[in-house]
Amino acid sequence: MWNKKRNQDQGSGIHNTGTMNGVQNQPGAVGSIQSQGATAPDPNALQTIADGLARLRAALDAQRDRVQAYDQCTAFVDLAAQQPMDQAAGQTTATGVLTRVRELCASAPELVGLATAVLGLIAALQS
């Protein structure tokens, strides 16, 4: 069986379709196919991001006196919350403004932590 000569038209690898992450074909495979279509983000992940942005906004309001650029930060958080997180452009915009919020709120560690957590959730969508 192992010494049997393989027909060059016959595939020796695997045929993968669907959602995959980090899939690698066997060395020397012939005629194998791998494909992956675009997959929609998990609705639970989108809701978790929305919840995180709401917590960030509430904490920002509660710590208003500790943030010098309060108006700018609230505008950025509100802008991030309006972005379509199921689209790359929305994720990119939200990442940019939340990174800026994190910088502007350096005097309030809780806000920095909340912004960082939401950024991590967005990054998970992008991977």
The rounded mean pLDDT for the chain is 81
The secondary structure of residue 117, as a DSSP letter, is: H
Contact 46, 85 (CB under 8 A): yes
- In the block, tokens 């994190």 appear at 102
pLDDT reading at 52 higher than 70: yes
pTM: predicted TM-score of the whole model, two decimal places: 0.68
Angstrom distance (rounded) from CA 52 to CA 29: 45
Element holding 113 (H helix, E strand) = helix 109-126
User: Which pLDDT band, with edges at 50, 70 and 90, does 101 fall under?
Assistant: very high
Domain range annotation of the chain:
11-40, 43-126
In whole angstroms, give the CA distance from residue 2 to residue 23: 25
Q: How far apart are CA 71 and CA 79, in angstroms?
A: 12
Can you give the pLDDT at residue 17?
Answer: 53
Q: How far is CA 11 from CA 2, 3, 16, 20, 22, in A?
A: 15, 16, 13, 20, 21
